[in-house]
Amino acid sequence: MSLLFYKRPDYVTKSDGPLNLSDCQKYVERAACSRASVPDNLSFENVMEGRTLPPMSLEDFMDYLVYISHDAENLQFYLWLQDYKNRFDALPASEKALSPRWEADRSAPVLNRAKATRAPEKKDHSLELNDMGSLGLKDMGAFYLDGNSSPTSTASRAPSPINSFKGHDFIVSAVSARDEPKWESFSIQPFRHEISLIISHYIQPSSPRELNLSYRDRALVLHTLQHTTHPSAFDPILAVIALTLKSQSHPNFVRWSICNGNKPRVFALRSLGVVVLSLSFLGALLMILSSRSRWWRIFLLLSVYFGIVNLIASYKGLCVLLYRFSDRQLHPWELDPLPATLFHAPASAAHIPYSPSTPSSLSYSPSSKTYDPESAPPSPSTERLAPFGPRNSFAHEAWVQRWRRRGVLRKIFARTTRIRDEGLRVMQNKIVLQAELYGVLISVPLVVAVVACPRGGFY
C-alpha cells in the first residue's frame, strides 16, 4: 500500500530577499517531509563527495543550479570553503597562529553597530563601486558597518608571500593582476591574497558571483575578515549557505532529475494521455448506444489503462518508453556540440574579466576538490566547479539560440543518454509502478461499469 501513496520530493519554494536563518529553518522543515522519498545513496553528502553517477553527479547538480535554479554561487562558494578548511588545517602551527579562530562573542558589538546603521544610499554607489579600489580591507568593513563613516588611512605593511597550496597557481593565473581587487590587504596572515579574491568575487556588492546575503551578514563577515583568515571567519554565512544547499537546492535537484524527458516531450505525453482517454470515453458511449454485443467494450480496457498510466507518469515528468530503456533525454545545454563557447561571455557579463586560456589544461576533481594540472581539459560542467570565473550567466551560450530555433518535433525526439545512477532508477521504478497500479485500479472498474450498461439499440 505504501507504493500507492509514494511521493517524489516536494518542491521547496525559494524565499524572496536575502538568505537568513529563519528562511533556512523553513527549508529544513519542508525538506524533512520528503526525506523518506529520497534514497540514502542520493543524499546531499553523497552528491558532494562524488559518490553518485550521472544524472545525479556533482556536475549535474551544478548544471541544475546554473540553468534551472540560478543560484550556483552557493555551491561554488561552499566547495571552495570546504577545500579551504582542509588546506588551512594542513598549515604549520606557526602559520595558523597568525590567523586565530574568530570567537562568536566578538561579533556582538559588530551586530549592534550593523543594526544601528543602514546601507549606503543609492546615490552613494559611486563610492561603493568606484572608490572601493582605494579602500583597505579594514576600511571596507567599516564602510559596510557604518554608512556615514569615511575611509581611513591605514599604514601599509609588506604582505607576506602567498603560501603554496593545491590549486593556488590556478587561482593566481585565472585572475590576472589587472583583474585583482584594486584595494590592498595589509596582513601577513596565510591565504590573505586568496581571501581578498573571495571577497571581490562573492562578498562585495556587484561581484561576479555575489552571494545573496543580508546586509547584516555581509557586514559581519567583512568585519571578521579584517582580523583573521581562519575558516571560522565565514561562520556567519556558512550556516545559511549550507542549509540552503541541503534543504532547498538538493531536494529540488532530486525532484528535477527524476524527469527523463524535456518539457516539449512531457507536454506531448500529457496531451496524448488526455486524447486517448477522451477517445476511449467517446468509443464507450458509441458502443453503449449501439446494438452490438456488450463484450466488445472490454477492449476499451487497453486504451483506458494506457491513457491513465501515461497521464500519471508524465504528470511527474516521466516518459514510460524512455524508462523501459533506462534512458533520459539530453538537456538543451548538453546538445550543444561546441562546449568551448561556455566561457566566451561578453565583457560586460563579469565584474572581473576571465580568460579561458589561462590556464588551458586545468580541471577540478569532485572527489578531492583540488585542481590537477596534469589532467585533460575539463568539461564546461566541471569548469563551473572552479571557485573563480565569470558570472553564472548562460544567455551568451551558443545552445540558447540553437534550442530556440529547433523545431518542436526535433525537441520532442531529442537525443537520449543512459541513466547510470541506480538510486535514481529506484525512484523512477516506484513512480512507474505507482502509475501502473493506479491504471489498473481506475481502468478496471470503469470498463466493468461500461460493460454492465445495457445496449441502447439506436443503430
pLDDT tens digit sequence for 250-307: 999 999 999 999 999 999 999 999 999 999 999 999 999 998 888 899 999 999 999 9
Instruction: Note the pTM of the prediction, 2 decimals.
Output: 0.76
pLDDT, one tens digit per residue, over 185-244 is 446 899 999 999 999 999 999 999 999 999 999 999 999 998 899 999 999 899 999 999
pLDDT of residue 314: 96
For residue 66, pLDDT over 70 is answered with yes
CA–CA separation, 69 and 13 (whole Å): 11
CA–CA separation, 89 and 368 (whole Å): 15
Q: What residues have CB less than 8 Å from 218, skipping those under 6 apart?
A: 144, 203
pLDDT confidence of 107, banded at 50, 70, 90? low
pLDDT of residue 459: 84
Cβ pair 363, 375 in contact under 8 A: yes
List, in sequence order, every residue forming a beta bridge with 364; answer none if it has no partner.
371
Question: What average pLDDT does the segment 121-133 reach?
Answer: 36
Type and span of the H or E element at 122: none
CA–CA separation, 315 and 267 (whole Å): 9
Question: What average pLDDT does the segment 423-445 reach?
Answer: 95
pLDDT of residue 35: 84
Any idea what DSSP says for residue 279?
H
Instruction: Give the highest mean pLDDT range of 72-76, 150-154, 359-363, 395-399.
Output: 72-76
CA proximity to 165, closest of 91, 238, 112 = 91
Q: What residues have CB less than 8 Å from 88, skipping those under 6 apart?
A: 96, 99, 190, 191, 229, 230, 231
pLDDT confidence of 336, banded at 50, 70, 90? confident
**Cell 543524499 -> residue:** 43
Tell me which amino acid residue 4 is: L
pLDDT of residue 155: 32
pLDDT confidence of 72, banded at 50, 70, 90? very high
CA–CA separation, 417 and 260 (whole Å): 10
Question: What average pLDDT does the segment 65-71 reach?
Answer: 96
pLDDT of residue 381: 63
pLDDT of residue 113: 53
pLDDT confidence of 164, banded at 50, 70, 90? very low
pLDDT of residue 458: 85
Cβ pair 404, 270 in contact under 8 A: no
DSSP secondary structure, 236-270, as one string? HHHHHHHHHIIIIIHHHHHHHHH--S-HHHHHHHH
pLDDT confidence of 23, banded at 50, 70, 90? confident
Which residue has better confidence, 9 or 343?
Answer: 9
CA proximity to 224, closest of 188, 199, 261 = 199
Which residue has better confidence, 406 or 15?
Answer: 406
For residue 160, pLDDT over 90 is answered with no
CA–CA separation, 79 and 82 (whole Å): 5
Grid cell of 121 as nine digits: 544610499
HSE-up of residue 394 (Cα within 13 Å, Cβ side):
24
For residue 142, pLDDT over 70 is answered with no
CA proximity to 267, closest of 408, 161, 441 = 408
Question: What average pLDDT does the segment 352-364 reach?
Answer: 34
For residue 379, pLDDT over 90 is answered with no
CA–CA separation, 164 and 359 (whole Å): 17
List, in sequence order, every residue forming a beta bridge with 370; answer none if it has no partner.
365
CA–CA separation, 208 and 204 (whole Å): 9
Q: Provide the 3-class DSSP secondary structure of residue 76.
A: helix
Tell me the pLDDT of the chain averaged across its residues. 78
pLDDT of residue 456: 83
